Amino acid sequence: MPGPATLPDTEVETDQRTKRQPPYHVVLLNDDDHSYEYVIEMLKALFGHPIEKGYQLAKIVDTKGRAIVCTTSLERAELKRDQIHAYGIDPRIPRCKGSMTAELEAAE
C-alpha cells in the first residue's frame, strides 16, 4: 500500500514592500514682527536645530521670505506647523501680536 500523498514544496513570492508616505516640507514664512533671536530659539526648541543652523534659517527667511525648516511625513509636518503657530509672541518686539506663520508643501 502506498503512503500518504504529499505535494511538492512550492515557493510563494509575496511582495512585502512598505509603501512610503510622500514627504512634506514645513516652510517658515517671514514677517517683521519677530527677531532673529526668536527664530533661532524657536527652531532650537521645536526642531532641535543648533544655534548656527537656526541663524542660517533665520537669515534665509529674512532675505528670501521663506525657508524650509523640516521635511518629514504629513502627520509630523502638520504637528510642527501647529507648534510654530502656537509658539507665542516675541517679547523683544513690542508690536509683536503672535507667533510666526508656517505652511506645508509637498516635497518634490
Q: What are the structural domains of the chain?
A: 24-106 (3.30.1390.10)
Percent of the chain having pLDDT more than 70?
84
Cell triple for 2: 502506498
Q: Residue 36: what pLDDT?
A: 96
CA dist list (Å): 75 to 26, 35, 42, 71, 95: 11, 28, 20, 11, 33
Q: Residue 21: what pLDDT?
A: 82
Higher pLDDT, 14 or 89: 89
Q: Residue 6: what pLDDT?
A: 64
Q: What is the DSSP letter of 94?
A: T
Could you report the per-residue pLDDT of 3-38, keeping only the tens digit for each?
666 666 666 565 567 777 899 999 999 998 999 999
Question: Average pLDDT, stretch 34-51?
Answer: 97
The reported pTM is 0.80
Q: Residue 19: what pLDDT?
A: 72
Q: Which of 75, 80, 58, 71 is nearest to 25 (CA)?
A: 71
Q: Residue 69: what pLDDT?
A: 98
Q: Residue 13: what pLDDT?
A: 61
